[in-house]
């Protein structure tokens, strides 16, 4: 039995879409700075890229506060239960209309592979992008009293990590865009992140999971 459940809260949806917009915008202006194409013009691209970078950092700060104040950080705790089955599902099972190996619940929105992927993004890729971006920004555009203390001889290494992180994020976005079409219908996952409601199996209309699902979540 499936019922529509309010699974994604308002800030969660705002954070998701704002983060997506900023990543796309940072990627576009960043590659223009690298000379891949011309749209805003180099000077404007640098200016817009820096503004978007600060906005991204502010969004991260609010997201960290929200995750810890609501307890949603637990969604990213890694689990290896059904991890192999989840990988097999994405590689083969999904093309054979095999049943999904895990069930989404309000208390466990992410499958095992998503947990590992998002945790890696939050603890590794995003920090690398932010730190390398700030070092690169302040090295290239010195501000009063700061850059001399860093003693950076070359931005080559910093630029390498920043660009590598950008490609990782782009690869993630491409895969993410594909996977959102693999829900109950092609648009069901997209609609859920817009409205906050998703049809979940084994939940009542108020979002309460049955005892079996609750026990499974607690076991994980």
Q: What percent of the chain has pLDDT over 90?
A: 56
Domain membership flag for residue 116:
yes
Within a domain: 81: yes
pLDDT at 153 over 70: no
If phi > 0 it is left, if psi is from -120 to 50 it is alpha, else beta; for residue 100 that is beta
Q: Is residue 213 part of a domain?
A: no
Least confident range of 16-30, 75-89, 148-162: 148-162
Indicate if the pLDDT at residue 38 is higher than 50: yes
Mean pLDDT on 133-142: 72
Residue 72 pLDDT class (50, 70, 90 cuts)? very high
Examine residue 207 and state whether it is found in any structural domain, yes or no.
Answer: no
Three-state secondary structure call for residue 5: strand
Cβ pair 76, 115 in contact under 8 A: yes
State the pLDDT at residue 140: 53
Count of structural domains, the chain: 1
- Domain of 148, CATH number, reads 1.20.950.20
Residue range(s) defining the domain that contains residue 23: 8-174
């Amino acid at each position: 039995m499936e019922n529509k459940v309010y699974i994604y809260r308002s800030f969660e949806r705002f954070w998701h879409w704002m983060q997506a917009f900023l990543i796309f915008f940072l990627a576009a202006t960043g590659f223009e700075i690298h000379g891949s194409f011309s749209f805003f013009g180099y000077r404007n691209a640098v200016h817009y890229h820096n503004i978007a970078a600060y906005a991204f950092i502010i969004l991260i700060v609010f997201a960290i506060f929200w995750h810890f104040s609501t307890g949603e950080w637990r969604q990213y705790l890694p689990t290896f239960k059904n991890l192999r089955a989840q990988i097999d599902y994405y590689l083969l099972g999904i093309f054979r209309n095999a049943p999904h190996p895990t069930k989404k619940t309000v208390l466990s929105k992410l499958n095992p592979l998503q947990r590992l992927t998002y945790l890696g993004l939050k603890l590794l890729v995003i920090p690398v992008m932010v730190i390398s971006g700030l070092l690169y920004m302040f090295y290239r555009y010195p501000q009063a009293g700061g850059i001399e203390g860093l003693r950076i001889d070359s931005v080559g290494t910093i630029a390498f990590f920043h660009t590598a992180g950008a490609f990782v994020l782009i690869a993630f976005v491409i895969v993410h865009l594909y996977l959102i079409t693999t829900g109950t219908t092609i648009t069901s996952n997209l609609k859920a992140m817009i409205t906050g409601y998703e049809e979940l199996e084994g939940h009542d209309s108020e979002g309460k999971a049955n005892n079996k699902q609750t026990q499974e979540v607690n076991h994980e």
